[in-house]
Amino acid sequence: MKTINLTDDQFDTLFEFVDNKVESIVNASVDYNDSEILNEWEDLLDVHTVLEEANKLVTIGEDI
């Protein structure tokens, strides 16, 4: 397991970049009716899931 420390701005930039890329990949998969596109980008989709979870934890922590 690795730990990476990012500033809020760095995290937001990374999350936005990955989120936009994943959205583009999903849209291409739908447009071309090709689920293989998603399989090709599975690693990035996994990273996106981890970043989403981290973002939720940060948001929940701010509400406490």
Range of the domain at 56: 8-63
**pTM for the full predicted model:** 0.82
State both tokens at 4: 């990476």
* Inside any domain, residue 3: no
* pLDDT reading at 63 higher than 60: no
* Inside any domain, residue 2: no
The number of folded domains in the chain is 1
Give the pLDDT score at 9.
94
CA dihedral over 25, 35, 49, 1, signed as positive or negative: negative
The pLDDT tens digits of the residues spanning 39-60 come to 999 999 999 999 999 988 866 6
Give the integer Cα–Cα distance in Å for 4 and 12. 14
Contact 40, 63 (CB under 8 A): no
Dihedrals phi, psi of 41, to nearest 5 degrees:
-110, 25
* Inside any domain, residue 21: yes
Angle at CA of residue 46, ends 64 and 28, nearest 5°: 115
* Inside any domain, residue 56: yes
The pLDDT tens digits of the residues spanning 25-35 come to 999 999 999 99
